[in-house]
Amino acid sequence: MAIGFGIVGAGMISRFHAKAIQEVKGAKLVACADRSFEKSQALANEFGCKPYHSVEAMLDNPAVDAVTIATPSGAHMEPAVIAAKAGKHVIVEKPLEITLKRCDKIIDACDKAGVKLAAIFPSRFHDSAKLMKGAVDAQRFGRITLGDAYVKWFRTQQYYDSGAWRGTWSLDGGGALMNQAVHTVDLLSWLMGPVAEVQAFTATLAHDRIEVEDVAAAALRFESGALGVIEATTAAFPGYLKRIELHGSEGSAVLEEEDIKSWDFAKKLRTDAAVHRQMASSKSTGGGAADPAAIGHHGHTLQIQDFVDAIRKDRAPAVDGPEGRKSIEIILAIYQSAKTGRKVTLPLKGDPKIAKD
């Protein structure tokens, strides 16, 4: 019997969740809820599910086995906790939440209720990212020396003006890092391992009426001893595809969106030829570099399929709550460093005060 899904929140990203659920074997979209019943009804009409005016009302539907949270970033915790207490499995759109305390409340609620929890980071499920991870795990890079992430995107002023929550500390939780670059920060930490310390700068240079950064630059030291850089912006016209670059004593590789652009190792393998053939053909979407709607939902599909399989087999999802929390801690450390002008050591001891006084 298919696992019934309900979507909380009926904004833009909810459509990606709905399309993905419809493509997942063993899943069925049965309901959606939004504080605006008009928006909920529009989503329901588009995807053939039942609309609700509140999360609580939707959770009373016994056909709902799991929920996906697609509300603004700083409003993930409340519906996630309510759903967990109702015995529903929970998927939360990135970021898991905007503070560590709120992340931990979601994780704890799901643990206590014995339900599955996943944080949406679909980039991990792309074949190219898995190839990079496989090369790291096989130690093909030798001693990894550098791990860099670049998200040089563009957002218009109209983008920030389109929603009262955009560009606020209370609901967006941050700017170019927390909203746009969080996927790439997650990928970098997945590939490179834990971050030990950061030193950073942030600024708001090209947008008005926002509280958060539209430019960020951070230097990292990983627990392995490797160094790295994270650069993120929504003020780089016209917007470029995100990049991850890994370098080591025996190899280097570059991932641009979903495409491997460089794949060079001192010790060659027969499988490298297939990678180089793949490099000759581009598969990337626009990656949201200039338009937040210009992303594919195939990564969501793969992740929700993993989530359904995790429920069926009673295992942890590939990106569970603690995994989803890691990128948030790195970003908060960057914000703390930028505000204080000091190097920040991880793990953090609680949530830093990062909003302007």
C-alpha triplet 319, 286, 302: angle, nearest 5°: 30
Handedness of CA 194, 196, 201, 204 (dihedral sign): positive
Assigned CATH topology for domain 126-289+327-345:
Dihydrodipicolinate Reductase; domain 2 (3.30.360)
pLDDT mean across residues, the chain: 95
Residue 357 has pLDDT above 60, yes or no: no
Compare 355 and 311 and report the one with higher pLDDT.
Answer: 311
pLDDT value of residue 285: 57
- The residue-averaged pLDDT of 316-340 equals 98
CATH 3.40.50.720 in the chain, residues?
3-122+297-320
pLDDT value of residue 316: 98
Nearest to 11 by CA among 30, 38, 29: 38
How many CB atoms sit inside 10 A of residue 312's CB? Answer: 10
Nearest to 299 by CA among 7, 16, 13: 16
DSSP string, 119-182: E--GGGGSHHHHHHHHHHHTTTTSSEEEEEEEEE-B--HHHHHT-TTTT-TTTT-SSIIIIIIH
Q: CATH class for domain 3-122+297-320? A: alpha beta
How much is the pTM?
A: 0.95
Q: What is the Cα gyration radius of the chain?
A: 20
pLDDT value of residue 294: 65
- The residue-averaged pLDDT of 158-170 equals 93
Residue 145 has pLDDT above 90, yes or no: yes
Instruction: Using pLDDT thresholds of 50, 70 and 90, give the confidence band for residue 280.
Output: confident
Burial class (CB in 10 A: 0-12, 13-18, 19+), 128: buried
CATH 3.30.360.10 in the chain, residues?
126-289+327-345
Q: Under 8 Å CB-to-CB from 234, ≥6 apart: which residues? A: 153, 154, 155, 159, 175, 176, 180, 206, 207, 214
pLDDT value of residue 1: 87
Instruction: Using pLDDT thresholds of 50, 70 and 90, give the confidence band for residue 289.
Output: confident
pLDDT tens-digit readout, 290-317: 777 667 799 999 999 999 999 999 999 9
pLDDT tens-digit readout, 175-191: 999 999 999 999 999 99
Q: Under 8 Å CB-to-CB from 166, ≥6 apart: which residues? A: 159, 160, 172, 210
pLDDT value of residue 290: 74
Instruction: Using pLDDT thresholds of 50, 70 and 90, give the confidence band for residue 33.
Output: very high
